[in-house]
Structure 1
Amino acid sequence: MSSYIQSIHHIIFTPYKRQPILTKEKRPELFKYVTGILKEKKCHLYQINGVEDHIHILTHIHPTVALSNLVKDIKIASGKMIKKEGLFKKFQGWQNGYGGFTHSFKEKERLVLYIIKQEEHHKKVSFLEEFIRILEENGVEYDPKYLD
């Protein structure tokens, strides 16, 4: 029998100290680069987007890839590219840690739309408010002192 797996993950991470440095005009270059990393890892990207202080990735993760390794590889490779290309002037690296949440295939379209509308969403809600809501919706216990 073959293995059949659908592993959809919503990944969120921020620049170091959540600095608002991911300028709108340069973000597409970052997103294109991350898309290439995901393809190389045999992951299927459903949506990527973000604002000045964080990015969201919705992807199917290939069964041979561990989430923590995928995020590490994305951060290392994209961080090197950002510095080499001078993409974001004040970029000091990515913040330690990330949010990684599994979702059912039925939720995919809702999440794609949510990620597409990030700029509109963040006119009303800060990253921290959003992230706490996502943690709570997913039943993740957290210590507020580690959210800074």
Structure 2
Amino acid sequence: MADTYSQIYIQVIFAVQNRTALIQPHWEEELNKYITGIVQNKGQKMLAINGTSNHIHFLIGMKPTCCLSDLVREIKKSSDSFIKEKQFSKFQFRWQQGFGAFSYGQSQLNDIIRYIENQKEHHRKKSFQEEYLAFLNAFDIEFKNEYLFEWLED
């Protein structure tokens, strides 16, 4: 009997609405664990997760039966509710619409995992806007500025 074999690695990036710096260090790890649980409960494999106070990156090993848009929608919806339920933020928390998704090969995994793990250090030198635009350009993704995240001045 034939089976399906695949190797699909996707990095997902999305931001807090208006790029507000609401993800606090004292609860960030709990948020990352919660998101990891969602990914695993949906049958996918979390390879790396990290971010800064205003956005998040994660890398998953994805099965071909997974609909990435549905997975990201569930992660945003559930983690948004989780943050509100835990009262992590005294401000209105919401993820911004949209996300970036970038694919990688097996030989690139160590580099991208290291990149995700070093997000805080990386963003001491480069803004989220610079980083995101660099991803779009590096992956040769056409975009319109008016449909990108709402940027706050860094």
TM-score if structure 2 supplies the norm length? 0.93
Match of 1:24 in 2: 25
Q: Is the 8 A contact 1:15 1:91 kept in 2?
A: no
Secondary structure, aligned partner of 1:86 = coil
Match of 1:137 in 2: 138
Name the amino acid aligned to 1:89: K
Mapped to 2, the partners of 1:69 and 1:17 lie a distance apart of 22
TM-score if structure 1 supplies the norm length? 0.96
How many percent of aligned residue pairs carry the same amino acid?
35
Mapped to 2, the partners of 1:27 and 1:63 lie a distance apart of 29
Mapped to 1, the partners of 2:58 and 2:92 lie a distance apart of 19
Q: Is the 8 A contact 1:41 1:62 kept in 2?
A: no
Mapped to 2, the partners of 1:73 and 1:141 lie a distance apart of 26
Q: Is the 8 A contact 2:47 2:113 kept in 1?
A: yes
Question: Deviation at 1:91?
Answer: 3.8
Match of 1:50 in 2: 51
Question: Deviation at 1:127?
Answer: 0.1
Mapped to 1, the partners of 2:92 and 2:35 lie a distance apart of 16
Mapped to 2, the partners of 1:89 and 1:9 lie a distance apart of 32
Mapped to 2, the partners of 1:145 and 1:63 lie a distance apart of 31
Match of 2:120 in 1: 119
RMSD: 1.0
Match of 2:90 in 1: 89
Mapped to 1, the partners of 2:51 and 2:26 lie a distance apart of 12
Question: Deviation at 1:43?
Answer: 0.7
Mapped to 1, the partners of 2:3 and 2:15 lie a distance apart of 37
Name the amino acid aligned to 1:127: F
Match of 2:101 in 1: 100
Q: Deviating runs (4+, > 6 A) in structure 1? A: none
Question: Deviation at 1:25?
Answer: 1.6
Task: Say how many residue pairs are matched.
Answer: 148
Mapped to 1, the partners of 2:89 and 2:109 lie a distance apart of 30
